[in-house]
Structure 1
Amino acid sequence: MGRAIGDGTTGVAAAVRPRVARLSGSQWADIVVVFVTAVLFTIAWPTLQVTHHVPAGVQPVIAGIAALPLILIRANPALGWAISAAGALVIPIVYERTDDYDFPWQVVHVMVLMAMLLAVSMRSPLPVVAVAWVSTALLFLANAPGQDGRGWAFGLTALVAFGLLIRWLVLSRRQLAQQEEVAEVERARRAILEERARIARDLHDVVAHHMSLVVVQAQSAPYRLGGLSDEAKAEFDSIGATAREALNEIRGMLGVLRSDGHLPEHAPMPGLGRIDELVEGSRRAGMTVTVERGPLAALPETAELALYRIAQESLSNAARHAPGAAVHLRLSGDAAVTELRVANDAGGSVAVAAGATPDVVSGHGIIGMRDRALSVGGTLTAGPRPGGGFEVCARIPSVPGAMVAEPVVGSA
């Protein structure tokens, strides 16, 4: 039987231990407050008959007025102090003291009142602290026997000053912690900016430098190479113009990378207004591109940027994987969805791909375009056309925050 009792006790302890471990510091503080309040109440009730002439039926109430306000020391110290001070004002008037006791209140009542005054000085607004301090000091000056009131008033003043000192110390530490947090965030931001600046330098060295060489070579080729035909000179001019446009975009991106992190949203982003420039650049490169525009709703900048990049990637893939094939770009939409279609005919040296050749349909080009569409709530499908060739179709919501349903068929 002893073993069974021991096993049962062990089981209860094992069940209670995880719950106790999950208690937070604030919950433990509340438990301590409740425990101390209960102990003081159990002391105040039986000792009340020693200090005051109180009927037996009223003694629990008077003991409660003396001890129970302590339970508000964390939730509302000002209210707890007000209840305790009101009780301290009324009790000496209503109930007479015993012959052997000359102090107006029980020791428990004085302890609770001082604890509440300290809590008020530490947590309540300063006007409330002033009222509590003056009222409590006057209460002791008026009721303490003999000349003890002056000493109590001085002690209460020192208690309030101590509470205010703790209050200001805690506030200063909080402000210091906040400043340290801000400084840490600033250090992290500076580290990010330094890394971005390093990336910008690397990109400039690796990409912008070589693009500049391409521009210089394309512009100087007609002078360095003799006997060039007009078509060859025009081709070099087209290469130079395309390279300059790419270089300008790269420099814009590098400028954003070098910024302090607060200006990228103000950096100019290519949108649908530059589709014609994109098509013109493709035509200068020798592509046959037709454009069809339908009615368009006003789009957010992010959606326009996504459509522009998808069109740019599709035209580049068509030039790379289906040279010589005619490319058709159609842009239309309504109040709900804007649709971009880029399709190339079956022709040229390779019979597919405004998006890619069959072996790279799932490559980075299609994935990147699909990710751009998804980032603004849209969808993208890419695949061979029934009559030959390849087509990319992007559907972007015209309303910010909306989503376009995934197509049932035709995705690649």
Structure 2
Amino acid sequence: MTAPPASPRPLLSGASRRWIRVLPWGVAFVLCVALLPTTIQVLSVEYGMNGGLASALAVAQAAPLLLAVVRPLHAWYVIFAADVAGALALLAVDFDERHLWPFPPMEIVGYVGLCLALGLREPRRTLLRVWLATAGANIGLGFVAPHGTSAGDALLTILSGVTLVLCGALRERYEAQRRLAEQETISEAERGRRTLLEERARIAREMHDVVAHHMSVITVQADTAAYRHQGLPPDEQAEFTSIAATARESLGEMRRLLGVLRNEEAHGELAPQPGLTRIGQLAEATARAGVPVEFTAWDADSGADVDAAVPEAVSLSAYRIAQEALANVVRHAPGAPTRVSLSVSVSSDAEADAPRLTVLVVNGPPPRPPAAPLEVGGTGHGLVGMRERVRLVGGVLDAGPLPDGGFRVAAQLPLDSQR
């Protein structure tokens, strides 16, 4: 079964302001109320037409203006036929030569109002057909003009053509702007999606080094087990050999996977991945660039400094989060006092004895004048990269502006190896 066609929407129904949405109905109502009695009066009194016929023509020429708000082309069929019928009916009436014919003034006003609705709704081809029909009727009636032709006989053709052209151009301009806005919205969404995918691929390339290191250790331990432990039974030696072969095969598969993720813009991926021990150096480099940075690292349980005995994935994520946060300080708040802290504690709202690493970067408002920036380009994709790295290790990220004009980035990364 096919869905029923959607009902046409009124003119300007998509406008943001209510008075604009109501405007077409108001204009149509005013024209209908004003033209209905005026047409009856002019046709019956000025032109001498029969009162009943004048009333019928007035209703057919004015009432469809209300329909024009929703279906202007349907209203045009009725009004155009009524206008032509009224012109033919006036041929049987002996009216003064000074009166306009074939279309009296009130019919011209109503027809121009109808052309406004047509221009704002119908496509260019339909508007051309409407104008050609109007001009053709005007020219055809001119051959039977009771008092000869005059310049005023073409008034309806001229005014309707101008109205259709102006309103059609206005509608096409609005449609072009709407499509441009939609395209910009789609492009922005695509840019965000591409940024997310690029950051995920970048994180995956970095995580490859971490996993490859562990697989290499497994391979070496399995290969050397027979030399480190004398007297291993043949079955156990065969099992270690199988483990080493499986680990080497896994490394090969990971290299092929990395080849898919690698791109031309990826540089420096053969270097060792940084970790917690490099965050202090990062803070010192930022301080040398003119940003006062205070760095602290401590363990809440032991009271000692945070050491590097954390999972490599967490250590790498912590470094990248601090790096991106400090880069944002340099770019957006140069010279602002900044505090970087690392702390290890036991989570109170998670499983019992679940340790977590907290990375906190807080900066105040920038001073005046600003200092020179440390970096021109970013190291990642800002908050998108931070959220992806935190999500990778099952942590939580809280980032946002502070009331005093500064900014705060806080990441809690679980140290549980099962996560």
Superposition TM-score, scaled by structure 2 size: 0.47
Q: Answer 1 or 2: higher relative contact order, Cα 8 Å, separation at least 6.
A: 2
Bigger helix share: 1
TM-score by length of 1: 0.48
